[in-house]
Every structure is written in structure tokens, then in C-alpha cells.
Amino acid sequence: MFEKYYKPVSLEEALSRLDDSRGRARIIAGGTDLVLQLQNREIVLDAVVDITAIEQLRYIREEGGMIKIGALTTHSDMAGSPLLKRSASLLSEAAGNVGSLQIRNVGTVGGNVINAQPAADTAVALMALDAMARVVSTAGERQVPLGELYRPEGGTALDPGREIVTEFSFYPPANGGGSGAFNRLARRKAVALPVFNTAVVIWTDQDQSYLTDARIIMGPVARIPFRAREAEKVLTGNPPGEHYFRLAAAQAAGEAKPRDSYLRGSAAYRKKLAQVMVLRALTKAWDGLEKRG
Amino acid sequence: MDKIKKRLSFILNHKPVTVEVEPDTLLLDLLRETLGLTGTKRGCGEGECGACTVIINNEAVNACLYPAWKVENCRVLTVEGLGTEENPHPLQEAFLEAGAVQCGFCTPGMLMSSYALLQKTANPAESEVKEAISGNLCRCTGYVKIIEAIRKAAQKMNDPSISKRKEV
């Protein structure tokens, strides 16, 4: 599969290993996706750079009002995190749905996002949270909004032979009067790719009389996790509750462009599904807000 | 370019081992082919079936997707390290007693996933047992007997007088 296995103990060393390999190396963390891609010869490499020894990239913490998650944080870490359960339960729930326990124990949030699958559960949730990714290379570092990590035609917009994502950060919705929810349908409860998933966040004014903003992300209905901007606009400025949630869900289904799939169901079925699933997610997010009062 | 082997040292089934391993060897192949520990099974080879489940530093992982070089300085436990025929682990006793084994191919993985669970949760609820083995497929018996066995093993482990096992 490859000839060299590097295991740097610092980010600097990892970046220079990438540079030295001139695009013929990739970062490996959990490897649960990459090992399969290498075995199937979807990717051919000279070397892999295992960054799991850089332990300072594995954390979930609150800092300056933001939640920060190191790229090496595993799905199990996120699913079990009291901080996430309290402040961003849509993300811990999304993480708890990925693969199996064995996969979640090993697979990382950085890998789930950078592998750029259109229905990557944590990416869908992070996008609804307006997360930023910290991207570093030997040229320096930058903060990239999650949605800009993807090329519109699919795949990552980063240079995987040169750049490393080290952190995701976001403001917990509750801090700004918001609430989120995650919703997923798969053929079985475990070890199953989603037929459809969605993450939503809604914000209201102080009296909870109208919605000030919304995020509706869906997968896999496009080549990348898809943000239903028109559906969000249906909500903004209007009162929360079933009437506008139904309108927004119908709009979101209209924007979705799923493909016919033997594994995931027909496009027509999944457009109907989108409507039901987005409505349920919005309702759940609103329940969370109402309870908070 | 030649693949340069690495001398890999780790703790395997409570004993230190050192082996020469190529950079792209997967843990499952290292265990089965190099070390002759064939208790760990290759099922799907792509992380779907859990037949290759082993424990690394207390966490259940799929050995079929796990690069061997990752285990340097780690503690690895396979079904061979769980118990022996003369001195089976309470989980192994319970699987036999409950009839939780038919063809046996999924059993090592089931045992390792449930071992990881019982290390963390001494008295798991049925839902916790189901979650712990949700990454392990059985195509023979169904899961009822397996779940029963795991809960029975938990009882044995909480009350050592029930188990025949001698601590070694």
C-alpha cells in the first residue's frame, strides 16, 4: 500500500514530512477510511504520516466562549463528552452515529471532515454550528469556515499533501439564544451509512417571538454537505413553530438534489424524507429552546 | 524503494513482544500471519463485521483497518489473552453456558467487544450491551443468546464465587 510510515511527535515535523514527500504522502489518524481507500487503490501513496502521537491535538474544551475540538478527537470522545452533550448535543449525537464503536474509538473528527463525504455526520453537524477549521501548513495557518473546506464539485478544497486541519471551533448555540438538533435515518441502527441526515440550529430573539437566524444542513443530497439557504430564509424573521417549520422543511426538500441510489433509496423518496426529517429536526431544536424558556 | 521494516515492541496478551514489521502491514495480518494468533478472524476486511475486534489500551478496535505500527508501546489483547481451555474467562464460560456460539466465527470479536464493555461498565443494561456489540455481526444464532451470555458474565464477574475461573 505504501513504503514509508512516519510517526512525528510534533506538528512541525508532520508538516515537513508532508512537504518532503511532494504530494505523495497523506496524513493518517484513525485510518478507518484511508486504509480502505489505500487497499482499494483509490489512493496511491509513497508514505503516510501518522499524527496520532501528537497528543496535544486531542481535546474538547471551552475557551473564550467558544468550544474548541482538536482534530485528533475521536468520535467516541465527542459522543461521550459532557461539554458537548450540554452545549452542542447535535454534534455529540452525530458523532455517536458514525460507524460502530470500534470505528468511533479510532476514527477522528479531522478525518471525518477532511474525507469530504457528503453525509459525514460530524461535518453536517459542525457546518450547522458555523464551525471554523484551523488549517496549518509550512506556509502558515488560516481559519477556514467549514463550508469552504469543500470544492463545489466534491472533495476537499485543502491540499492534503501539504495542509493539516488541527482544530474545529464554534460558539455553542445556547450562548446566542439558539438551539440545535441532529436527525438521521439509516437502514440499520449501527454500522450503516445515512440514507439521509440533517443538522439544524435555530436562534430566536429574547422573547422567543421570532427566529433571528437558522442553519439547515443536509446530507447526502449533493456532492458535499448541503446548506439549504433558501429554507433558512423562510425561517428568519418569522415566529417559531409548526407553520414556518413546515414551510422551511418543504423548501429544504425542494433545494435538495439527491441521486437515485440502490443503497440509499430513490431521489424521489429521499426528497420526501428530507421534508420529514428537517421538520422533525426543527421541531426538536425548538423543543430545546422552549424548555430553556 | 524498498520497504524498511521496523522493530515494533508492544505488550501482547500481557507479555512484551518485539517483531519486525513492514510499514503497511495491518494489525490483523501481524497477529494472524506473523504471530500465529488466528483467534482473531478476518471477516469483511473493511470494518463492518467486527470479527477482527481486539482491545488496544482498553478500547475495542477493528484490527483489519489498524496499521500495525500504531501499536508500538501499546497494550494489545486478543481472544488468546482472555482465557484458556483450562481456565476460561467468565465471558467464555457464559457464552458456552448460554449457547451463544454456533459457527463460532464471530465469537472472538463478540468476546473482545463485550470484554471492553465489562471493563468499563460492571453492570451493563441491555441497551449498553447492544450498543457494545453493535459493530459485531453474527449470522447464525442471532443476538439474544449473546446478550444473555454477556449479562450472565457480568454477574459472574461481580460475584467471583459463581465462576470457576482461577485468577492467574
Q: Which of residues 36-55 of B touch A (CB under 8 A)?
A: 45-48, 50, 53
Clarify whether residues B60 and B104 are in a common domain: no
Clarify whether residues B25 and B43 are in a common domain: yes
Give the pLDDT of residue A40. 95
Domain-embedded: residue B11: yes
Pick the last residue of a domain from B62, B81, B100: B81
- What is the Cα–Cα distance from A150 to A164, expressed in whole angstroms? 14
Clarify whether residues B99 and B42 are in a common domain: no
B contacts of A101 (beta carbons < 8 Å): 60, 113, 131-132, 134-135
Range B86-108 burial, b when 16+ CB lie within 10 A, else e: eebbbbbbbbeebebbeeebbbb
Q: At B39, is the pLDDT very low, low, confident or very high (cuts 50, 70, 90)?
A: very high
Q: Are A79 and A95 in contact (CB under 8 A)?
A: yes
User: Is the confidence at residue B7, as pLDDT, over 90?
Assistant: yes
Clarify whether residues B119 and B67 are in a common domain: no
Clarify whether residues B11 and B77 are in a common domain: yes
Among A105, A13, A133, A144, residue whose Cα is nearest residue B132: A105
User: Is B66 at the interface with chain A, CB within 8 A?
Assistant: yes
Chain A interface disruption, residue of B113, B134, B143, B150, most A CBs within 10 A: B134
- Contact flag B134-A106 (C-beta cutoff 8 Å): no
Clarify whether residues B98 and B76 are in a common domain: no
Clarify whether residues B75 and B120 are in a common domain: no
Clarify whether residues B103 and B72 are in a common domain: no
Q: Is the dihedral of CA A11, A14, A19, A24 positive or negative?
A: negative
Residue B152 sits in a domain of what CATH number?
1.10.150.120
How far, CA to CA in Å, does A260 sit from each of A195, A212, A254, A255, A279? Answer: 11, 35, 16, 16, 22
Clarify whether residues B26 and B54 are in a common domain: yes
- Residue B6 φ then ψ, to 5°: -125, 145
Number of domains making up chain B: 2
Q: At B160, is the pLDDT very low, low, confident or very high (cuts 50, 70, 90)?
A: confident
A contacts of B110 (beta carbons < 8 Å): none
Domain-embedded: residue B12: yes
Give the pLDDT of residue B2. 73
Domain-embedded: residue B166: no
Look up the pTM and report it.
0.96
User: Which residues 6+ apart lie within 8 Å of A51 measured at CB?
Assistant: A8, A11, A14, A27, A28, A29, A57, A72, A164
Give the pLDDT of residue B38. 98
For residue A152, cis peptide bond before it (omega within 30 degrees of 0): no
Clarify whether residues B127 and B105 are in a common domain: yes
Clarify whether residues B64 and B22 are in a common domain: yes
Which cell numbers hold the place of A53? 502521537
Domain-embedded: residue B146: yes
Residues B64-84 pLDDT 10s? 999 999 999 999 999 999 999
Pick the last residue of a domain from B23, B49, B81: B81
Three-state SS string over chain B comes to CCCCCEEEEEEECCEEEEEEECCCCEHHHHHHHHCCCCCCCCCCCCCCCCCCEEEECCEEEEHHHCEHHHHCCCEEECHHHCCCCCCCCHHHHHHHHHCCCCCCCCHHHHHHHHHHHHHHCCCCCHHHHHHHCCCCCCCCCCCHHHHHHHHHHHHHHHCHHHCCCCCC
**For B110, which residue in chain A has the nearest alpha carbon?**
A102
**For A6, which residue in chain B has the nearest alpha carbon?**
B23
Q: Are B96 and B32 in contact (CB under 8 A)?
A: no
- Nearest by CB to residue B67, choosing from A31, A105, A189, is A31
Domain-embedded: residue B68: yes
- What is the Cα–Cα distance from A293 to A164, expressed in whole angstroms? 41
pLDDT digit of tens for each residue in chain A (293 aa)?
899 999 999 999 999 999 999 999 999 999 999 999 999 999 999 999 999 999 999 999 999 999 999 999 999 999 999 999 999 999 999 999 999 999 999 999 999 999 999 999 999 999 999 999 999 999 999 999 999 999 999 999 999 999 999 999 999 998 888 999 999 999 888 888 899 999 999 999 999 999 999 999 999 999 999 999 999 999 999 999 999 999 999 999 999 999 998 888 899 999 999 999 999 999 999 999 988 87
- What is the Cα–Cα distance from B111 to A39, expressed in whole angstroms? 27
Pick the last residue of a domain from B18, B51, B81: B81
- What is the Cα–Cα distance from A220 to B83, expressed in whole angstroms? 45
Domain-embedded: residue B37: yes
Q: At B163, is the pLDDT very low, low, confident or very high (cuts 50, 70, 90)?
A: low
User: Which residues 6+ apart lie within 8 Å of A142 measured at CB?
Assistant: A134, A135
- Contact flag A35-B65 (C-beta cutoff 8 Å): yes
Clarify whether residues B34 and B64 are in a common domain: yes
Residues B114-148 pLDDT 10s? 999 999 999 999 999 999 999 999 999 799 999 99
Residue B32 sits in a domain of what CATH number?
3.10.20.30
Domain range for B113:
90-158
Give the gap in angstroms from C-alpha A95 to the nearest C-alpha of chain B: 14
- Contact flag A103-B23 (C-beta cutoff 8 Å): no
Domain-embedded: residue B1: no
- What is the Cα–Cα distance from A170 to A63, expressed in whole angstroms? 10
Identify residues of A whose CB sits under 8 angstroms from chain B CBs. Answer: 1-5, 7, 28, 31-32, 35-36, 38-39, 46, 48, 50, 52, 76, 99-103, 105-106, 189-191
Domain-embedded: residue B115: yes
How far, CA to CA in Å, does A8 sit from each of A1, A11, A53? Answer: 20, 7, 7
